[in-house]
């Protein structure tokens, strides 16, 4: 099988919903089982390639153009966000006041 055919086959195979779910479960279990070793390996790579990563990130961030739907901009609030609550302007209270009644 040629590399292109293999790549196309794998793309189609891993796009199937049942395969996608089982592969995601396998990878999660693998990560949890090998977390310590993977983090050591990642840390070692970062230390050994710090300058290379720094140059790459600098170039990437200069060329990065967020999409219009991006939630990285400060002026955009995700409407589904549970962090931002609407204020009840009719109610006046204090920090120590108990509202559990």
Q: Are 66 and 72 in contact (CB under 8 A)?
A: yes
Query: For residue 37, how many C-alpha atoms fall within 13 Å in the half-sphere facing its CB?
Result: 5
Domain ranges of the chain: 7-63
Summarised one tens digit per residue, pLDDT across range 29-47 is 999 999 999 999 999 999 9
DSSP helix/strand/coil, 5: helix
Whole-model pTM: value is 0.51
In this prediction, residue 47 carries a pLDDT of 95
d(CA 38, CA 30): 10
**Under-50 pLDDT residues of the chain:** 83-87
Q: What is the mean pLDDT of the chain?
A: 80
């Amino acid at each position: 099988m040629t590399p292109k055919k293999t790549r196309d086959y794998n793309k189609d195979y891993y796009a199937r919903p049942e395969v996608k779910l089982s592969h995601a479960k396998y990878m999660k279990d693998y990560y949890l089982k090998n977390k310590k070793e993977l983090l050591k390996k990642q840390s070692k790579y970062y230390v050994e390639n710090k300058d290379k990563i720094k140059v790459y990130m600098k170039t990437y961030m200069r060329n990065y153009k967020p999409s219009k739907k991006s939630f990285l901009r400060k002026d955009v609030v995700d409407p589904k966000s549970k962090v931002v609550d609407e204020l009840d302007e009719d109610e006046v209270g204090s920090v120590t006041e108990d509202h559990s009644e």
